[in-house]
Structure 1
Amino acid sequence: MRSVFLVPLVLAAASPVHAEDTRNDADQAAVAILESARSYVPAKATERKAPSYPRNELTSGREGWVEVGYCIDENGAPQNVQVLDSTGNSRFERAAISSVGNWKFEPALVGGKPSWQSNNKTLITFAIDASQRGARREVARKYKKLGELIDDNNLAEADAFFLDLIENERLNLYELAMIWSQRVRYQAKRGDFLKLDLALHRATASDGQWTEEENYQRLLEIRVKVEIQLGNYAKALSAYRALKRVLGEDAPQVTALQPAIDSVRSYLDGNDVLESAAEIRAKGGCYGCDDSYWFIPARRTIAFREIDGALTSIDVRCTHKRYESAVSEEVEWRIPDSWGSCSIEVHGKPGTTFKILALPDA
């Protein structure tokens, strides 16, 4: 297996190399940028205008949100703006992309020099009345019917009913969170943990702003357990921290999860290879999304195995650097600590399943 140490100008992915030689070169390059990274100053927004509300959606009363990822170049301009997820409205997605693309920043500084900042994301919400926290009677009735279909194991009918609600009903943000919380129950009944993970993300996307507090807490509890089940340990820790912020460290729900979280931290600090399952999702109602899978690496060294289908490329977006590469089961990727926090997008054919390995640091 080849090892690729991801550092500037040492992107050895084209031909086999001796791991020892690559590591020596990479260590020198990593040390060279580590000192400057210690004086890192993050980019600062100077102009962030809110997006224009699409006229048709405003008139119809439709609300929604769009999660946007972007880089900030050395001139303080957004680059590589893309939709990461959304409530499934192409007009909202276009408005969000246009808005973020016109934001202005003071660029990040590394060693006193302007630098790219590549791991940024934001949630753009489209709300007609931000104070509204409730569902209309008609939607509440449909929400109840959807729950009854799930309870009665009429899953095919529940799926069709859900899709009709999401695609055709003019929902506000509160109603969207309600409907997606039912989707969580639906995917749990099906036992599809990857799709359950997506439903949980959408049901909790606004950090509980549009969800009843008790329901939000319950969803966070479920999310911690699901992320652990999938081997998404970085996301499990993030969900656990969110639960602690909401309930406090001494809450029974928090303390009940502490043994599992301690085990996760032990896994991450250990020498075992950690494995998580993944699948390239289709757009799934998110019109501007790529056919891809996003994850936060649990460790700084990763590899891909058991690819069933076709993976085309990875896009590693870190605070200080960005790196793109073809995907191969014959390569390990080592991400230097000096690159900062990272998220990784894997592109491929929808339906492709694969395993992500988090390898112990050498």
Structure 2
Amino acid sequence: MEVSSSAYYAWLKKPGELISAQMLRLYRRAKALFKASRNSLGSRELAKALRKEGFEITRYRAIKLMERLKLVVTQRIAYKVTTKRKHSDAVADNLLNMNFNPVGPNQIWEGKIWNSYEDAWFWMLKSEIAKAQGHDHSQLSSIWRLVSSSQSDEYVGEAYYLYLLHQKFTLEIKASLFSDALETFAQIEQRPNNEKTVSVLEKYATRVRQVLKNRDFIVVQGEIGSNGDWWHSLSRNRFMFSDIEGTLNTVEVRCDNKREKYTVAQDTEWKIPKRWGRCKIMVVGDTQANFNLVEIRQGA
């Protein structure tokens, strides 16, 4: 035990100390208050806190109490800023802008926010990986996020940005997203040095317009995502659902001038008045529920 024999025998002869219930309660509350303060309560504040709980204690007694219970104050170091932001660096765009009700898919994302330069390169690399793996939906989603961000054309270069729009146009046609494809083609027509790309894609844009004009039915395959919904930009103002596998609950029609919500019913046709303007739909249902959205030509 590393004590002298005399000390040991002196301890044996020393009478045991009796601690009253009131004193034991004082010890326990003092320890609890000190711990709750993260070891920051000094004798003055500890005495105040104990007096509020009904204990009769002076500051001097609080000092002795802290010594007895070995309560040592730990001084916390205040946070000090050691770096300064370089104001010439790019700051991530305020895409949310207090708008907590997005009107379309892939418009608001949560998670880690990088600066816009890193964000552009991240989605560019993700789109290339998806392309190599043959995942059209993931590639289209990545490109959409990239081209919808301001200044992304400056970060990836004009030539590559035009290439991305080309890929986006092709993927949208492949997915029967004809309205989106025509919007993408309009963007391509506005880019500088676009002559070669426009000459290649113009015939396909013409075919898309012919399909929208002449084909009675345009079938788009839909699947409810992990977040419980599926979005689509309508090319026509008449549509219906067919071949539903799983549960679809509601379809919300969000137009330029109107917004309505309906209960999904298979083989029921919806007709949207033209005065409502351009429309998107949000279908809500069980994750991985599959269905076909059928867009119907006027007069069919």
The TM-score with structure 2 as length reference comes to: 0.62
Q: SS state of the match for residue 303, structure 1?
A: strand
2:258 maps to 321
Deviation by residue 1:141-178 (Cα, 9 ceiling, x = unmatched): xxxxxxxxxxxxxxxxxxxxxxxxxx5xx731111111
Aligned match for 1:267, one of 197, 211, 223: 211
1:1-20 equivalences under 5 Å are none
1:81 maps to 101
Q: SS state of the match for residue 320, structure 1?
A: coil
Q: SS state of the match for residue 242, structure 2?
A: strand
CA 1:191–1:293 in 2, change beyond 3 Å: closer, same or farther? same
Is contact 2:176-2:219 (8 Å) kept? yes
Is contact 1:180-1:202 (8 Å) kept? yes
Deviation by residue 1:1-37 (Cα, 9 ceiling, x = unmatched): xxxxxxxxxxxxxxxxxxxxxxxxxxxxxxxxxxxxx
Q: SS state of the match for residue 268, structure 1?
A: helix
Aligned match for 2:141, one of 166, 175, 198: 198
1:34 maps to none
Q: SS state of the match for residue 227, structure 1?
A: helix
Q: Which runs of 5+ in 1 are unaligned?
A: 1-57, 71-79, 91-166, 284-290
For residues 292 and 204 of structure 1, what CA distance do their matches in structure 2 show? Answer: 23
1:359 maps to 296
Is contact 1:310-1:349 (8 Å) kept? yes
- What letter is aligned with 2:286? K
1:189 maps to 132
CA 1:357–1:180 in 2, change beyond 3 Å: closer, same or farther? same
- What letter is aligned with 1:258? E
For residues 340 and 334 of structure 1, what CA distance do their matches in structure 2 show? Answer: 13
1:176 maps to 119
2:222 maps to 278
Q: Deviation of residue 86 (structure 1)? A: 5.3
Q: Deviation of residue 63 (structure 1)? A: 3.2
Q: Which runs of 5+ in 2 are unaligned?
A: 1-83
2:39 maps to none
Query: For this pair of structures, how many residues does the alignment match?
Result: 210
Structure showing greater relative contact order (alpha-carbon pairs closer than 8 Å, 6 or more residues apart): 1
2:189 maps to 244
For residues 235 and 185 of structure 1, what CA distance do their matches in structure 2 show? Answer: 21
Q: Deviation of residue 69 (structure 1)? A: 10
For residues 323 and 183 of structure 1, what CA distance do their matches in structure 2 show? Answer: 35
2:92 maps to 63
Q: SS state of the match for residue 315, structure 1?
A: strand
For residues 108 and 252 of structure 2, what CA distance do their matches in structure 1 show? Answer: 24
- What letter is aligned with 2:159? E
Relative to its length, the structure with more strand (as a share) is 1
For residues 302 and 280 of structure 1, what CA distance do their matches in structure 2 show? Answer: 18
Is the counterpart of residue 212 in structure 1 residue 157 in structure 2? yes
- What letter is aligned with 1:63? A
Q: Deviation of residue 181 (structure 1)? A: 1.1
Stretch moving more, 326-335 or 190-199: 190-199
Is contact 2:234-2:278 (8 Å) kept? no
For residues 67 and 351 of structure 1, what CA distance do their matches in structure 2 show? Answer: 28
- What letter is aligned with 1:255? S
CA 1:304–1:257 in 2, change beyond 3 Å: closer, same or farther? same
Is the counterpart of residue 221 in structure 1 residue 166 in structure 2? yes
Q: SS state of the match for residue 106, structure 2?
A: strand
Q: Deviation of residue 282 (structure 1)? A: 2.3
- What letter is aligned with 2:203? P
CA 1:86–1:360 in 2, change beyond 3 Å: closer, same or farther? closer
| Coordinate RMSD, CA, aligned | 2.9
Deviation by residue 1:325-353 (Cα, 9 ceiling, x = unmatched): 01121211111112112111111222223
For residues 355 and 190 of structure 1, what CA distance do their matches in structure 2 show? Answer: 25
1:125 maps to none
For residues 211 and 81 of structure 1, what CA distance do their matches in structure 2 show? Answer: 30
Is contact 1:273-1:358 (8 Å) kept? yes
Is contact 2:102-2:108 (8 Å) kept? no
For residues 211 and 280 of structure 1, what CA distance do their matches in structure 2 show? Answer: 32
Q: Deviation of residue 306 (structure 1)? A: 2.4
For residues 180 and 87 of structure 1, what CA distance do their matches in structure 2 show? Answer: 15
CA 1:69–1:331 in 2, change beyond 3 Å: closer, same or farther? farther
Is contact 1:307-1:354 (8 Å) kept? yes
For residues 352 and 181 of structure 1, what CA distance do their matches in structure 2 show? Answer: 30
Q: Deviation of residue 242 (structure 1)? A: 0.6
- What letter is aligned with 1:85? N
For residues 264 and 243 of structure 2, what CA distance do their matches in structure 1 show? Answer: 12
Q: SS state of the match for residue 191, structure 2?
A: helix
Is contact 2:248-2:264 (8 Å) kept? yes
1:5 maps to none
